[in-house]
Amino acid sequence: MIQSRGFNINTQNLKQEYDYIIVGQGLAGSCLALELREKDKTVMVFNDPTGNSSSRVAGGLINPITGRKMVLTWRANQLFPFLKYFYRNAEKKLGIMFFHETPIYRPFISVKEQNEWYGKSVEANFKPFVKEVVTKSEKEQVVADPFGGLLLNGSGYLDTITFLEAVNNWLKTSDMLVNEKFDFDSLNFINGAAVYKNIKTNKVVFCNGVEITRTNYFEEVKFRPVKGEVLKISINPALNKVYNRGVFIMPRDGNHTVGSNYNHKDLSWEKTENGREEIETKLQSLLLKEYKVVGHKAGVRPSVSDRRPVLGKSSSNEQIIIFNGLGTKGVSLAPFFANQLANNLVSGTEIEKEVNVNRFY
């Protein structure tokens, strides 16, 4: 019998043993579970079904060129080929489609910008992501595009809810899921093993999004959560590609997802009138069609101060691991870095400095 944190643990009662416990089944936990199973490791995932999940709010957009200045997404040349391979593979394994390749059309704001993109579109970094530099307004005027726009390649979206539910079903039917809140007070460390209730494991990986900030773990990490809201709108007839300038308008499931905004102050998960107004104002300066708002959601992105993912082990306990910091681009980042973390856990390969949690220690 071992006394630990006020619990009496009879080690003979430890009924189950897994290589890894994963806490949280958003994009981070789902991608990591898939990667660890690919490597034949056993996992048990705890997911709080009533908990907030940024992944369930996300638009799911996969966008290689972003921001007002239209810059290449960080590490796009590595992330994008990998995410396509990853989600296509996951679709085969889970027997359902959730990864959709769709062009994104991004109107230019000036002739100067149009000219700049003639040059940039042939640069090695940008070339794989530029389908066409469009010099005239589209025939069917969907958005304001007096100077034409940039049509992107390699873009699309993940139907995040379908993906998360498919992973949830797969975990459930393979006895790898406990659909309940993980109680951090019941986690103990005994003779080199982590023990949670009657489960023994080598390591516990926290993939719990912004909820990590409510625990005593990884307090050195400079988390900087960012709230965001999305609208669901109907447009008749539905659009056939994603439009993006200030906001994105993404055709999805017969409707369209529009987003998003960024709020560092209000970190509640409540949708707000201000949020809706902010998104609609930008929408109206882009979209020329009639629309109707049919849905509205809010969530909090798990971001950190340097806007890079956070992977690796705790400074005080090698058995506690983090996979967090997916910020505004979880769909694009999660596959590549879940793979990097799984390689580190299973084979001891290095975690890159830029994403290693030890940059905060």
Residue carrying structure tokens 């516990």: 204
- Binding residue (CB under 6 A) for ligand FAD from 29, 148, 309, 312: 29
| Only segment of 19-27, 33-41, 98-106, 119-127 that touches ligand FAD (CB under 6 A) | 19-27
Examine residue 48 and tell whether it contacts ligand FAD (CB under 6 A).
yes
Q: Which is nearer to ligand FAD, 58 or 134 (CB)?
A: 58
Under rule CB under 6 A, how many of the chain's residues touch ligand FAD? 41
Q: Which is nearer to ligand FAD, 114 or 328 (CB)?
A: 328
Q: Alpha-carbon distance 233 to 291, whole Å?
A: 6
SS3 content of the chain, % helix, strand, coil (to 5): 30, 30, 40
Amino acid at 351: I
Tell me how crowded residue 121 is: count the other CB atoms within 10 A of its CB: 15
Q: Could you tell me the smallest distance in angstroms from the CB atom of residue 306 to ligand FAD? A: 15
Q: Could you tell me the smallest distance in angstroms from the CB atom of residue 51 to ligand FAD? A: 3
Examine residue 208 and tell whether it contacts ligand FAD (CB under 6 A).
yes
- Report the phi/psi class of residue 154: left, alpha or beta, with left for phi > 0 and alpha for psi in -120 to 50: left
Q: Could you tell me the smallest distance in angstroms from the CB atom of residue 22 to ligand FAD? A: 9
Q: Could you tell me the smallest distance in angstroms from the CB atom of residue 297 to ligand FAD? A: 7
Q: Could you tell me the smallest distance in angstroms from the CB atom of residue 16 to ligand FAD? A: 17
Q: Where are the beta strands (DSSP E) in 135-274?
A: 149-152, 156-158, 177-178, 187-190, 193-196, 199-206, 226-234, 242-245, 247-252, 255-259
- Binding residue (CB under 6 A) for ligand FAD from 309, 312, 327, 335: 327
Examine residue 275 and tell whether it contacts ligand FAD (CB under 6 A).
no
Work out whether the CA dihedral 312, 360, 29, 161 comes out positive or negative: negative
Q: Which is nearer to ligand FAD, 149 or 330 (CB)?
A: 330
Q: What is the CA radius of gyration of the chain?
A: 22
| Only segment of 32-40, 107-115, 306-314, 320-328 that touches ligand FAD (CB under 6 A) | 320-328
> Crossing angle of helices 330-347/27-38, nearest 10°?
40
User: Which tokens hold the place of 93?
Assistant: 């394994």
Q: Could you tell me the smallest distance in angstroms from the CB atom of residue 134 to ligand FAD? A: 23
Site for ligand FAD in 86-145 (CB under 6 A): none
Q: Alpha-carbon distance 124 to 120, whole Å?
A: 9
Question: Which positions touch ligand FAD (CB under 6 A)?
Answer: 23-29, 46-48, 51, 53-55, 57-61, 181-182, 207-209, 211, 228-230, 259-260, 299, 301-302, 324, 326-332
